[in-house]
Amino acid sequence: MNVNDIKHAKLKKWILDFAELTTPEQIVIADGSSAQYDELIASQIADGYCVALNPEKKPHSVAYNSDPSDVARVENRTYIASKTKEAAGPTNNWIDPVALKETMTDLYRGSMKGRTLYVIPFSMGPLGSPIAKIGVELTDSIYVVLNMMIMTRVGTKVLDLLGTDGYFVPCYHSVGKPLAEGESDNGQWPCAPLEHKYISHFPETREIWSYGSGYGGNALLGKKCLALRIASVLARDEGWLAEHMLILKITSPEGKSRYVTGAFPSACGKTNLAMLIPTVPGWKVETIGDDIAWMKFGDDGRLYAINPEAGFFGVAPGTSLQSNYNAMKAAEKNTIFTNCAVTEDKDVWWEGIGYDAPGPVIDWLNNEWVQDKSNKDQKPAANPNARFTAPAAQAPSIAAEWEDPKGVPISAILFGGRRPKTVPLVHMSHDWNHGVFLGSIVGSEITAAALDLKVGTIRRDPFAMLPFCGYHMGEYFQHWINIGKAAKDQSKLPKIFYVNWFRRDENKHFIWPGFGENSRVLKWVFEACEGTAKTVDTPIGVMPSIDAIDRPEGVTEAQMKELLEVDIDGWLAEVADIRENHYPKFGDKLPKELSVFLDQLEANLKAAK
């Protein structure tokens, strides 16, 4: 298929206009076929961009190393270019959209010289789902095409669905490294210098413009750019939710299933929870999604969620058969590894994989690396943000209905962060708006690894959406309140919980073992949704009674009491921090309901003291 075969006149003109600006050698449409995928992989191996892995160890898989300057999302080069700075809000980087488009148009001019322009029509969500959205990404990166073919539903079926006038989100991307005649990359990862990197979102026109980076969420524009930053704006305007949340299915020994979403800041175990193997006999947990949830009201008045993605873009370091068996199994074949180490027998290795490096490896910087456990300053073989891109269908934990176009009905929403003290193991909101309040105060405690903030202070990440909300976050809180008001039947809204697996004792040891044992908390959440949980009312919300959660081996009754106590002084300090340092950021856009909940929390705590 070529551009002239496209029946959507607006789409065809858009592609040809961008080609005229960027001057590629040719235009190729990503048709979504395995034949095209294999052909592109073979060309990347032949040209030295990636290494074919051992077919006996990792069938049909490759390993890429990026440029050392291009290893992660670049938040300080990510922009919400709404018409006014006020609309972008206090938590986003803003540039005037007219000026930004001028700057980027100049950068795009001739940027694809010597390269191919690939057209990627993609669906976020199962094809034809009433919750799904279509995007089209134009890119000069084969790496992007291959990853998008795993992470989204790509191809001619999407063009068929668009028809002659269907709506799509336009996504521009270029690595920003034109080639002179006869020049090649010589297998080196192409990208532009940091000062020329831009990941730009235009909320009013629903456009994404990315330039200069070939990596992850900077370049795979279906991921955070469309799935959260632009989708959050669409969701606000259309009355649904686009959230940075896992979706899991939990089934009781009696065979009853409920669906749970969960929002957690980075390094709080979101993917591990999505792929949990429960330790409670007879209970089962299955995966719908590990990163994004889009939720809309169904005809029955319940919120239904889809995972708009088709793959996992998982952090490799720290992932092992012990920490996340299902993720490791998902990445056994048909997987793209980025910035991992490669062993002599062409397998991948990274820190925390569960075993020592098997002899010398080639590290992510393409140097020979020999593990030296006695050297605490040894640089890692894999980049700390090394990734695997694997088809979601390959996870042994994937639920049968993960691609159901109508989505799954959500019973519970979890919020959580990494909090060594104050926040208990689990508590439940009294109602929807109280749950919105809990989501608005989510945060994680700063450790010694973060040099920019004082150790022990809280870095707030409301709803785990701080880097991903496409508009003013005060208005985002209001949108959640509006969703609650829009429910035909308030009793059908999901119950909202705040969890914390990270409480520590006076010796700084974790009190709760986490990982599979978190299923014990999920069981209580399930029971709370059923109305059968043992509960007590407290100044901060509804909590389990001391005997409501089965204790894991090694957790004493005294420790369980500590995990479930309400730390009055700690929470009063929390109230003061929210009142002084957090809520004022949102100015007059902060919903009054949230200020009322904060006052009520303080009054409850003082009364209990």
Q: How far, in Å, CA of 218 to CA of 19, rounded?
A: 21
Q: How far, in Å, CA of 261 to CA of 414, rounded?
A: 6
Q: Is 171 a catalytic residue?
A: no
SS3 of residue 105 by DSSP: helix
| Residues contacting residue 113 through CB under 8 Å, at least 6 positions apart | 22, 23, 24, 25, 178, 179, 180
What order do you get walking across the sheet with 387-391 strand by strand?
A: 50-52, 62-64, 336-338, 387-391, 311-315
Closest CA to 243 of 511, 465, 544, 467: 465
Q: What are phi and psi of 325, to 5 degrees?
A: -55, -45
Task: Pick the catalytic residue from 50, 171, 225, 268.
Answer: 268
- Side chain identity at 288, as an amino acid letter? I
| Residues 401/408, Cβ–Cβ less than 8 Å | yes
Q: How far, in Å, CA of 272 to CA of 95, rounded?
A: 37
The neighbouring-strand residues paired with 54 are none
Half-sphere exposure (CA, 13 Å, Cβ side) for 178?
Answer: 14
Q: How far, in Å, CA of 212 to CA of 199, rounded?
A: 9
Q: How far, in Å, CA of 261 to CA of 240, rounded?
A: 15
| Residues contacting residue 492 through CB under 8 Å, at least 6 positions apart | 300, 301, 302, 303
User: Which residues are catalytic, by number?
Assistant: 268
